[in-house]
Homo-oligomer: A and B are copies of this chain.
Amino acid sequence: MVKIVDKEQIKQLFANGQRLMIGGFIECGAPHRLIDLLLESGVRNLTLIGNDTGFDDQKSGQLVVERRLSRVIVSHIGTNKETGRQMNSGDLEVELIPQGTLVEQIRAGGAGLGGVLTPTGIGTPVAEGSRTLEVDGREYLLAKPLRADLALVKAWKADRDGNLLFRYAARNFNPVIAMAGDRVVVEAEEIVPTGEIDPNQVMTPGIFVDYILRNGEE
């Protein structure tokens, strides 16, 4: 059952060494208020699973800049110079995964699949060390499921039962990570009464959501 909670309750969900999925695509649709709370909470040694590490001069990127991460599993780090620096100095472990494979791994984690077979990356360094399978004469990489302790989601509107709407390109990884976290935490631009979102139009059903950050405290 969804709980609408305040900042302090959100902060208590964070702990050193956690594995986090964070929605967004280079800051667009990233849960900036939740990331602020994460930074404030002082936790470290986190693993980040998401599309990228943001911009080094914007919010998501601060997780790297402030050295809260020990490992990232992402498709792209080019927009955050600090990620490359920490990778080269050995302070940050970076696992780069093709975006379409990464999103299927997260989906598999949320959907109870043991993995998917993808043609993406065959013949490239991505295939090195990966299990490959031949199916009907074509070679595929086995992409294993990914899950996280916490998924941090940014929604446009949430109703009080946790049903979510996303807006424009801010949707991106948010719905899929909402399926793959042991606990799912949402910040929404607006929290509306249950019933206001048409059940046909719900993008993420409330059954996936555990916590919503209360609005209007700032």
Is A97 positioned at the interface, with any CB of B under 8 Å from its CB? no
Interface flag for A165 (CB, 8 Å): yes
Measured between alpha carbons, how far is A112 from B108 in the docked complex, in Å?
Answer: 15
Does B167 contact A200, Cβ atoms closer than 8 Å? yes
Interface centre among A104, A116, A166 (most CB of B within 10 A): A116
Interface SS, A side: mixed
Indicate if A2 sits at the interface (CB-CB under 8 A).
Answer: no
In this assembly, does A136 line the interface, its C-beta being within 8 Å of a C-beta of chain B? Answer: yes
A 109-125 to B, binary, CB cutoff 8 A, 1 in contact else 0: 00111111111000000
Q: A144-B136, A165-B200 in contact; A116/B119 too (CB < 8 A)?
A: no
Question: Which residues from B are CB-within-8-Å of A104?
Answer: 111, 113
A135-B142, A167-B200, A200-B165 are contacts. A117–B116 as well, Cβ < 8 Å? yes
Number of copies: 2
Contacts of A138 in B (CB 8 A): 114
Contact at B118–A140, with CB atoms within 8 Å?
no
Task: Judge if A201 is at the interface, Cβ distance under 8 Å.
Answer: yes
Q: Are B144 and A115 in contact (CB under 8 A)?
A: no
**In the complex, which residue of chain B has the Cβ closest to the Cβ of A133?**
B114
Provide 15 A-B residue pairs closer than 8 Å at the C-beta atoms, listed in order of the A residue.
A113-B117, A113-B140, A114-B116, A114-B118, A114-B119, A114-B133, A114-B135, A115-B117, A115-B135, A115-B140, A116-B117, A133-B142, A135-B144, A166-B200, A167-B200
Known: A114-B117, A135-B142, A135-B144. 20 other contacts (CB 8 A): A104-B111, A104-B113, A112-B118, A113-B116, A113-B117, A113-B118, A113-B140, A114-B116, A114-B119, A114-B133, A114-B135, A114-B140, A115-B117, A115-B140, A116-B116, A116-B117, A117-B142, A133-B133, A136-B144, A167-B200
